[in-house]
Amino acid sequence: MRNLALLQRGIAAASRLAVGVAFFALIAVVTLQIATRTFGLPSPVWTEELSRYLLLYMTAFGIGLSLMTGELVNVDLVQETVSEARAWWMRLIAAICTAALGAVMIWPAWKFTQIGAFQRSPSLRWPMDIIHASVLVLSVLLFLFALLRVIGMIAGSDDGRPHLAEEE
């Protein structure tokens, strides 16, 4: 179980780093947009497009972190009205369903990514498979984080409750 915790921490750390890099790039792009428009300079057309792509990747890299910290949509009210044993089973079933959803999304996301190889983005002229891959990354990370939670709950090292980032 120690290896499981190390794997989970490693994936979480890599996800945090990726979200941070994407967010820093987004800040730089938006700052360029604001600065050029403020001073009456022509704003590069590609900044709008790149901003959207960076938001897609921030979401993709952050999905697993959101699952772990409880920031995804959650129905805590019902869990608080039942016994701890029932609440644990509800969390386990929710984690299994989330892992299943992530797993089911992987193949269509892969096909979607492949379709993008035949297209180019309008202003950046990047192959769209780079952009479409954000959906694949999201699917894989959602599956991995949910599966790790399920394994941890079954092994007894995780209670399925949200974990604050400081605790990890």
- Burial (CB count <10 Å: 0-12, 13-18, 19+), residue 40: exposed
CA 25, 20, 150: angle at the middle one, nearest 5?
Answer: 140
CA 62 – CA 15 distance, rounded (Å): 6
Report pLDDT digits (tens) over 3-17: 888 999 999 999 999
What is the rounded average pLDDT of the residues 135-163? 93
pTM: predicted TM-score of the whole model, two decimal places:
0.89
Which pLDDT does position 168 carry in this prediction? 45
Report pLDDT digits (tens) over 14-60: 999 999 999 999 999 999 999 999 998 988 999 999 999 999 999 99
What is the rounded average pLDDT of the residues 86-107? 95
Whether the CB-CB separation of 56 and 112 falls below 8 Å is answered with: no
Whether the CB-CB separation of 37 and 66 falls below 8 Å is answered with: no
Which pLDDT does position 75 carry in this prediction? 67
